[in-house]
Chain A
Amino acid sequence: MENIDFVAALSRWFHFMAGVMWIGLLYYFNFIQVAALKNAAADGTAGGITKHVAPRALLFFRWAAVLTWITGAALLGPLFVDAFLLRNGMGPIGIGAWLGTIMLFNVWVLIWPNQKKILGMVQASDEEKNTARRVAFLASRTNTMLSIPLLFFMAGGMSHRALFGL
């Protein structure tokens, strides 16, 4: 029993740290970098961001997403299936888990492969780069939108469960 508690405590700690890094970088991309790149492109200074900042931010972003999901799954432990099937009182946290899983999918399937084209890490024509830019942008914005209910169901809605009647 003590070992299970220890794993859960460590999982929660790492889940929070990785989650802060993941969502923090997601907000950096959406609230700061998109607008900054637009201005930087206008005065010819975008290279500094696309060459030195974006690849590093994306590295920590995508692996923090993986670590957040794994530690979240560990934290659910034997209640993992109940959460994803939204049953036995695990519905609210299960909604959070589903949102996080969709967001992880968006990071690895829609954002990262398209960012590699945009940043020139893989070969792509100008037309492919334009499509990649739009897909990556919308996936990133979708994740920003999903982070709002995710944080409600993961954090506020759970700690104040009685208040919200959940």
Chain B
Amino acid sequence: MKNPLDSLWGTVIAGVVLTVVLYVFSKNFLG
């Protein structure tokens, strides 16, 4: 599998996905 960080679009999409993951974590598990 190609590393998404090798392309700019892959990097941006990975960043947006990570934002969503951290947002869900923050909203549900942090006080």
Contact = CB atoms under 8 A, between A and B. Distances in A.
Interface residues of A, number: 24
Interface in B13-31: 14-16, 18-19, 22-23, 25-27, 30-31
Interface residues of B, number: 18
B15 A144 contact: yes
Interface of B: 3, 5-6, 8, 11-12, 14-16, 18-19, 22-23, 25-27, 30-31
Given A141-B5, A149-B15, 8 more contacts: A87-B31, A92-B30, A145-B18, A146-B15, A146-B18, A148-B18, A152-B22, A164-B23
In the A-B complex, list the 10 residue pairs whose CB atoms are closest, starting with the nearest.
A148-B15, A91-B30, A141-B5, A149-B19, A145-B15, A145-B14, A152-B19, A149-B22, A145-B11, A149-B18
